[in-house]
């Protein structure tokens, strides 16, 4: 009887030990952990807490971390945001900006030299041109004591002149043939002028020319609009290209021109 009691106790202890060992085995098993990045696969940690879940870096996160990626590489490109629906995230597109057709001018023109209608009392008939070289204004006489006034560039010191002539010829985008004395004079300064230059945007005579009498003087445009209001020419009267085109369209051959 005693022998059976001992065997029963030993079996019970063996069963309890086996259960405890089984419980310990399952308690030490690491849990299954899902990566914080939902684009990554599930990760089962079999090595305990030392194994960290794999996290795949997001491409957008790398771009945001690099400040150079925030600005377009080309300074002539700007970003335009286009919405794609009420709840959709906007799409950012790079749109090329048009380059200016002309280079920036060297300075701003004083507003007084921009075209405007002014009061002007004169004995000259409407349609006549009066050029005030001292104040750098050209007046196209109108009816009713008015005139259309334009800012001009005039002859530099030593090249001033005064007189009355008529417009004998008009030319769009005129060619330029510098006088021999001008070529020699500029060459002495180290400036070498061409013997002839075709009309165009780079031509010093600009977009239009109105020739005065039989002289070498002209009312013409310019490729240097920032010089309007200054005494810089060799005696010709220059206007901005947009202004000389406007004047050209209002003036006929035979128009009287008074320079004073």
Q: Which residues are catalytic?
A: 220, 236
Alpha helix positions (H), the chain: 2-27, 59-65, 180-188, 241-250
Between CA 161 and CA 213 the distance in angstroms is 14
DSSP of 156-183: PTT----EEEEEEEEEES--B---HHHH
Between CA 225 and CA 202 the distance in angstroms is 12
First to last CA, the chain: 149
Beta strands 208-212 and 218-220 are antiparallel
Between CA 238 and CA 220 the distance in angstroms is 5
Q: Which whole-number Å values give the CA distances from 78 to 66, 100, 105, 122, 237, in the listed order?
A: 19, 15, 24, 54, 42
Report which DSSP code applies to 58: P
């Amino acid at each position: 009887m005693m022998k059976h009691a001992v065997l029963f106790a030993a079996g019970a202890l063996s069963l309890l030990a086996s259960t405890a060992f089984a419980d310990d085995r399952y308690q030490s098993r690491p849990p299954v952990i899902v990566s914080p990045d939902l684009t990554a696969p599930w990760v089962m940690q079999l090595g305990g807490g030392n194994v960290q879940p794999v996290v795949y870096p997001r491409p957008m996160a790398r771009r945001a971390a690099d400040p150079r990626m925030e600005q377009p590489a080309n300074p002539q490109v700007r970003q335009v945001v286009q919405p794609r629906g009420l709840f959709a995230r906007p799409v950012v597109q790079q749109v090329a900006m048009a380059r200016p057709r002309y280079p920036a001018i060297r300075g701003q023109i004083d507003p007084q030299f921009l075209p405007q209608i002014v009061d002007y009392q004169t004995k000259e008939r409407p349609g006549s041109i009066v050029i005030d070289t001292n104040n750098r204004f050209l007046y196209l006489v109108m009816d009713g004591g008015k005139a259309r006034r334009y800012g001009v560039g005039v002859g530099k010191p030593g090249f001033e002149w005064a007189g009355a002539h008529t417009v004998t010829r008009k030319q769009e985008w005129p060619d330029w043939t510098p006088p021999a004395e001008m070529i020699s004079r500029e060459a002495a300064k180290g400036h070498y002028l061409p013997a002839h230059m075709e009309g165009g945007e780079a031509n010093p005579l600009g977009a239009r020319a109105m020739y005065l009498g039989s002289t070498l003087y002209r009312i013409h445009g310019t490729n240097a609009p920032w010089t309007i209001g200054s005494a810089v020419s060799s005696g010709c009267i220059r206007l901005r290209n947009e202004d000389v085109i406007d004047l050209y369209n209002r003036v006929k051959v035979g128009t009287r021109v008074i320079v004073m």
